[in-house]
Structure 1
Amino acid sequence: MQSRMFIMCRCMGAKAGYKMAPIEQGHRQRILIYSHDTFGLGHLRRCRAIAHKLVETFENASVVIISGSPIIGRFDFADGVDYVRVPGVVKQPDGTYATSNMSLDLEETVQMRRAIIMATARSLKPDLLIVDKEPTGFRDELLPTLHHLRATGTKIVLGLRDVLDETSVIVPEWERKGAIEALRQFYDHVWVYGLPEIHEPLAPFDLPETLRNEIIYTGYLRRELPAESRSTRYPRLTRKPFALVTTGGGGDGEQLIDWVLSAYEHDPDIGIGALFVFGPFIPDARRGSFLERMSRLPNVDAITFDSKIEHLITRSECVIAMGGYNTFCEILSFNKRALIVPRRSPRMEQAIRAERAAELGLVSVLDGTKLETGVNRDPHEMAQAIRQLQNRPKPLESALPSLLDGLETIEITARAWLTGKDPAITAIAG
C-alpha cells in the first residue's frame, strides 16, 4: 500500500541515526482528540499516549482530549495536554446504553455531550482533529463538529486500533452508523495503529480506491516508562520474579482472575508468584471474594489499580492478560513473555489479535471461550500454561519490521501536515 510505504521509509530513516528538526518557535499547533470512552481504559490510554507524543514533537502545541471516561482525572498528563470530560454513559448487559451518573435520559445526555464537544471545538479552533474509533461519535454526537471543522479547514483523521471485530459484526454495524459515508465526507486519512501483517480492519469494506489510499498503517504504539512516584510502594512479592495478571479496567476480567487464582490454589508450586491488578471497575464484592482466597496463598498478592502499570510490567517476568490493545502494546514494548486468554464476547477483537499474534510467535494463547460464565475451567491447564510461559521466547525475538513504529509514524505524518513540510527534508543528522 503506497501510503504505508511512504510513511514507513521515513520512520526507518529517523530510527537509523536521524532526528527531526525542531518546530519553528512561535508556531502553535492546536490538536483536538475525541474519544467516546463509554467503558474501560483502552481508548483513553491510547489517546493519552498519542497526545504526549504530539506535545513532545511540537513544544508549543496544545492538545485537548474530549473523553467520557469516569476516571480520566486519575491519570497524569504532560504539559500541553488537558482534557474535557463529557457526561458518561455505560453499556448495559443487553447491549443498550444508559447514563452513568446523572438522572437524565440517554438522549438528553447525548445532547449535552454534543454541545460540549462543539463548544470545545469552536473555542480551540484545532489544526488537527483525531477521532478515536467511532467515525460519527457516540450516537452521532460528533457529526455537527465534523461539519463545522471540515468547513474551517481542520485536518481530520480517524484513528483505529488494529482489530475492530469479525466481519459479520463490524460491517452491518458500520453500515447502520453511516461510518463509511462519514469517512468519505469528512476524513482526510485513517491511521490504523497496527500492521496489515497482523490484521486489516477495513479490508471487509468496499472502499473506493481514493479512500483506501488514505489508510496509513502506523505500527503499534510503543510505550515508555512514565516518571515513577517516590511514594509508590509495591507489594513485597514484587521483589522476586513474579507474573503480572492484569485485566485492564477489570469490568470484564473476573473470569480470568478466577482461573489464574484457581491454578495457584491447585498447584502452589508453580514456580513463580503472581501479582493481580484488579482494575478500577471490578465490583467490590468480587474483589473482596478474591482477596479472601488470596490471603491463604503465600505467593499471590493483589492491588486494585495502578495508573503507571508500565513499571509493574517492566518488573515482571511475564504477563497474563486478556489481550486488549493497550496491554498488547505494553507486552511488545517491554518485551515480556505473555499468556493471553482473550474474551470472545461482546466482540471478537481480542481473540482475532491474540490468535494471529500466536501464529507469529509473539505470545502464548489459551482458549478464551473458557472465560464465559458457567464454563468449567481446568486449573491444571492454566497451571501448565504458566509453567510453560516462563520458558517461551520473548516476543521481540520474533518481531516484524516496524512493529512498534506507531508513535514515530504519527509524529512524522503530523509534522508534515501541521508544518506543510516534507518530513524527509526536515530530518537532520543526529
Structure 2
Amino acid sequence: MKRILIYSHDTFGLGNVRRMLEIARHLVASSPEITVLLLTGSPMLHAFRIPPRIDYVKLPCLARDTTGRYGARSLAVDLPELVRLRANLIKSATLDFAPDLVLVDKKPFGVQDELAGVLEMLSRVAHRPRFVLLLRDILDSAEATRSVWQKNGYYEAVDTYYDEVLVVGSPEIFDLRREYAFPPFAAAKVRFCGYIAREAAKRSRAHVRAALGVDPHEPMLLVTPGGGEDGFRLVATALEGLARTPAHRRPRTHVVCGPEMPEHHRTAVESAAADLPQVSVEAFSDDMMSLIGSADVAVTMGGYNTVCELLTSGRRGVIVPRCEPGVEQLLRAERMAERGLLRMVSPDALSPSALMAEVQHQFDALARSEPLPRLKAMNGLDKVSRALRTLVDLEEQRTTSPMRIRSRRAGEIVFTVA
C-alpha cells in the first residue's frame, strides 16, 4: 500500500481543501494500492464526504484577512505560537505516517514556513519520499509573485526538495513559467496537467429543478460566492438587481450563500430574498455541480474551483472576481473572458444594473442558441493522478541535491553547499 501525504494550504475559503480532497478521491479511485492522509486547517472538511482509504489530521485554523495578514482563527494564541503548534503536529503526523510521497499545495515551505522543518528532515532519511508541489493556474500578479518567490527562496526550494511541480492549468491561458520568471532549473520541473474537471452531477437537471419548484423550461439563475466568507457584496448586489427587475422578467433564482458567510450576512440575504417570491436561498451545498447543471446562467466569484465547475458544466457564467489581497481571480476572469468562456464584471464596476445587464446578455445569448466556447484542457485530475502514481511506483529515487538549508531568518534563506 503506497502512502501519500497531502498538505492543504487553506487560510481563506474552501477552494484549496476542496481541490486537494478531489485529488485524494481520484487517487484512491484510480488505484486500490493507495491510501491518503490529508493535513488541513479547514474548519469545513467534515462537511464533505470522505471515501475509504482517506483520512485527515485537522490542524488549528489559520485566518487571513483581505490585506493578506495571517492570524489565529479560533484559538486565543498569537501567530508564532499557532504556527509552532501546527508545525509540530505536521512533523509528528508525517513521521508516524511515513509517506512514500508528499504533495504540497501552493507554498513550497507551507504557510508561514511551517513545512520547512519537515522538508529538511525528510530529505535526510534513508528512504526519502518523493516531493511534489501542486500549483493552480494563477497565483497572483507577476510582480507580486516574483517578489514573494524570490524573497522566500521558493525557486531554490523547488530545486532542492521537489521532484516535480504540477500545475492544474494550461499555458494557453497562463504560462506561469514565463509570467513568474521561473529560472531554468525550476521551469524544467514544471508539468502542466490541465484544469480539473469537476465530478459529474449527482442529480439530474430535472430532479434538482423539481426539488426547487422550478418549471423545466423556465430560465433559472444561480448565484453563489463559493465559500462565502467575503461574498456578501456579490449576493446583495444580485438581489438588489433582481428587486429592480420587473417581476415578469425576473428569472427564477437560487442563492447558495456558502458555509463561511457570516451569520448576520446570511440573515440579511434571507430577509431580502423573502420579498422576492422567485428567489430561494440555502446556506451550503456539497453538490454544486447538480445545482450549476440545473441553472442556465450562474453568477459567481472567480475562484479556481468555481470556474472549473462552470467550464465542466458548459453553463454560461458571469464572474465578479475578488481583487484583495491578490488579483489571482481577476487575472483568471480576464483571461477566460478574452476567450469568450465567460463574462466578467470588475468589482470596481459592480452595481445592480451592471450585473443584471451581464446576466441578461447571457440569457439572450442562450435564447439565440449562440455556441459557447469550450476549454479542451480539462483533464487535470487524470494527469495529476498519473504523475503521482508514476512517482510512487519508481524504485530509483532522485539523488537529493547537496544544497541544504542551514538557517532561516525573517524573509531570508541561508544556504550551504556540502
Supply the RMSD in Å over aligned alpha carbons. Answer: 2.4
SS for the counterpart of 2:21 is: helix
The match for 1:295 is 274
The match for 2:222 is 244
Q: Does 1:309 align with 2:251?
A: no
1:359-370 equivalences in 2 (<5 Å)? 359-370=338-349
TM-score, normalisation: structure 1: 0.84
Q: Does 1:160 align with 2:135?
A: yes
Which residue, 326, 329, 350 being the options, matches 2:305? 326
SS for the counterpart of 2:388 is: helix
The match for 2:363 is 390
- Quick one: distance in 2 between partners of 1:73 and 1:390? 36
Q: Does 1:347 align with 2:326?
A: yes
Rate the CA distance shift 1:264–1:227 in 2: closer, same or farther, 3 A. closer
Amino acid at match of 2:57: V
The match for 1:426 is none
Which residue, 242, 259, 264 being the options, matches 1:280? 259
Rate the CA distance shift 1:238–1:126 in 2: closer, same or farther, 3 A. farther
The match for 1:24 is none
Moved over 4 A (4+): 230-234, 237-240, 393-397
TM-score, normalisation: structure 2: 0.87
SS for the counterpart of 1:342 is: coil
Amino acid at match of 1:412: R
- Quick one: distance in 1 between partners of 2:195 and 2:174? 12
For residues 238-295 of structure 1, give each alpha carbon's deviation from its aligned partner in whole angstroms, at most 9, with x where no partner exists: 8654211110111111111121111111103435211111111212222212211111
Identity rate of aligned residues, in percent?
33
Q: Does 1:118 align with 2:65?
A: no
**How far apart are 1:301 and its partner, in Å?**
1.3
Larger RCO, structure (CA 8 Å, separation 6 or more): 1
Greater alpha carbon shift after TM alignment, 209-218 vs 50-59: 209-218
- Quick one: distance in 1 between partners of 2:120 and 2:18? 27
Q: Give the conservation status (yes or no) of the 8 Å contact 1:51–1:63.
A: yes
For residues 168-216 of structure 1, give each alpha carbon's deviation from its aligned partner in whole angstroms, at most 9, with x where no partner exists: 2112122232222211211111111010111123424443323212111
Which residue, 145, 148, 166 being the options, matches 1:191? 166
- Quick one: distance in 2 between partners of 1:48 and 1:29? 17
- Quick one: distance in 2 between partners of 1:323 and 1:95? 18
The match for 1:264 is 242
- Quick one: distance in 1 between partners of 2:14 and 2:215? 24
**How far apart are 1:233 and its partner, in Å?**
9.7
Ranges in structure 1 where 5+ consecutive residues have no aligned partner = 1-27, 372-376, 422-430
Rate the CA distance shift 1:283–1:320 in 2: closer, same or farther, 3 A. same
SS for the counterpart of 1:331 is: helix
**How many residue pairs get matched?**
387
For residues 319-378 of structure 1, give each alpha carbon's deviation from its aligned partner in whole angstroms, at most 9, with x where no partner exists: 11111100011111111111111122221111111111111111111222235xxxxx2x
The match for 1:80 is 53
**How far apart are 1:390 and its partner, in Å?**
1.8
Ranges in structure 2 where 5+ consecutive residues have no aligned partner = 396-418
The match for 2:390 is 416
